[in-house]
Amino acid sequence: MARDLPIGNGTLLVNFDFLYQLRDIYFPHVGMENHTAGHPCRFGVWVNGTFRWIADPGWQRQLGYESDTLVTRVLLRHPDLPLAIVCTDAVDFHENLYLRRVAVTSEADSALEVRFFFHHDFHIYENEVGDTAYYEPRRRVVFHYKDLRWFLINGFRGPDDHGVDQFATGQKEIGGLEGTWRDAEDGTLSGNAIAQGSVDSTVALHLTLAPRGYGEVYYWIAAGQTFDEVTAINRRVVERGPAVYLERIRHYWQLWARKDGNEMGELPVEIARLFTSSLLILRTQIDVDGGILAANDFDVTQFNRDTYSYVWPRDGAIISTALTRAGYSTPSSRFLAFCARLLTKEGYFLHKYNPDGSLASSWHPWFADNQPQIPIQEDETGLVLWALWQFFEHFPEVEFIKPLYRDLIIRAGEFLASYRDPESGLPLPSWDLWEERRGVHAWTVAATYAGLVAAARFANAFGEEDIRDRLLTAAREVKAGADAWLWHEELGRFVRTVHPRPSGGYDVDQTFDASVAGLFLFGMYAATDPRIVRTMESLRERLWVKTPIGGVARYENDYYHQVSHDLANVPGNPWIICTLWLARWEIARAGRPEELESATEYLHWAARRALPSGVLAEQVDPYSGAPLSVSPLTWSHGEVVLTIVDYLDKLTRLNLCPACGHPLFLRERRRIRALRLMDVAGDELPASEEV
Here the CATH number for the domain that contains residue 422 is: 1.50.10.10
- At residue 302, the 3 state secondary structure works out as helix
* pLDDT band, very low/low/confident/very high, at 180 (cuts 50, 70, 90): very high
Q: How much is the mean pLDDT over the chain?
A: 94
46 occurs within a structural domain: yes
CATH number reported for the structural domain that contains residue 245 in this entry: 2.70.98.10
Are residue 352 and residue 412 in the same domain, yes or no?
yes
Are residue 253 and residue 264 in the same domain, yes or no?
no
Residue range(s) defining the domain that contains residue 443: 259-690
Asked whether the bond before 658 is cis by omega within 30 degrees of 0, the reply is: no
Segment 185-191 long-range contacts (CB within 8 Å, at least 24 positions apart):
185/44, 185/51, 186/51, 187/46, 187/49, 187/51, 187/115, 189/117, 191/135, 191/166, 191/167
* Model pLDDT, residue 346: 97
Q: What residue type is 501 in one-letter code?
A: R
* Model pLDDT, residue 583: 98
Are residue 672 and residue 550 in the same domain, yes or no?
yes
Q: Among 257, 290, 310, give the residue marking a domain's end.
A: 257
30 occurs within a structural domain: no
**Cα–Cα distance for residue pair 193/201, rounded to 1 Å:** 10
* pLDDT band, very low/low/confident/very high, at 267 (cuts 50, 70, 90): confident
Q: Among 242, 257, 272, give the residue marking a domain's end.
A: 257
> What is the per-residue pLDDT across 534-571, written as a single tens digit (0 to 9) for each?
999 999 999 999 999 999 999 999 999 999 999 999 99
> What is the per-residue pLDDT across 323-339, written as a single tens digit (0 to 9) for each?
999 999 999 999 999 99
1 occurs within a structural domain: no
128 occurs within a structural domain: yes
Indicate the pTM of the whole model: 0.94
In order, the DSSP letters of 87-140 are: EEEEE-SSSSEEEEEEEEEE-SSS-EEEEEEEEE---GGGS-TTEEEEEETTTT
CA 587 to chain centre: 24
- At residue 354, the 3 state secondary structure works out as coil
Are residue 247 and residue 320 in the same domain, yes or no?
no
Are residue 198 and residue 270 in the same domain, yes or no?
no
| Strand ranges across the sheet with 22-29 | 3-8, 13-17, 22-29, 32-34
Q: Among 223, 238, 257, give the residue marking a domain's end.
A: 257
With a cut of 60, say whether residue 627 has pLDDT above it.
yes
Are residue 191 and residue 98 in the same domain, yes or no?
yes
* CB-based contact 373:306 (threshold 8 Å): no
* CB-based contact 117:44 (threshold 8 Å): yes
64 occurs within a structural domain: yes
State the distance between the two ends of the chain, measured CA to CA, in whole angstroms.
Answer: 38
Environment class of 233 (CB within 10 Å of its CB; exposed 0-12, middle 13-18, buried 19+):
buried
* pLDDT band, very low/low/confident/very high, at 399 (cuts 50, 70, 90): very high
Are residue 227 and residue 316 in the same domain, yes or no?
no
Are residue 524 and residue 571 in the same domain, yes or no?
yes
CA 157 to chain centre: 35
Are residue 199 and residue 291 in the same domain, yes or no?
no
* CB-based contact 87:74 (threshold 8 Å): yes
Are residue 373 and residue 349 in the same domain, yes or no?
yes
20 occurs within a structural domain: no
**Cα–Cα distance for residue pair 324/330, rounded to 1 Å:** 9
Are residue 246 and residue 153 in the same domain, yes or no?
yes
Counting the structural domains of the chain, the total is 2
| Strand ranges across the sheet with 438-441 | 430-431, 438-441, 497-500, 506-509
- Tell me the C-alpha to C-alpha distance, in Å, between residue 50 and each of 108, 112, 116, 283: 14, 11, 12, 40
CA 453 to chain centre: 27
Tell me the chain's radius of gyration from C-alpha atoms: 27
| Nearest of 8, 71, 15, 10 to residue 248 by alpha carbon | 71
The tally of CA atoms less than 13 A away on the side-chain side of residue 360 is: 23
* Model pLDDT, residue 266: 72
Residue 642's contacts (CB-CB under 8 Å, 6 or more residues apart) are 318, 321, 322, 325, 580, 584
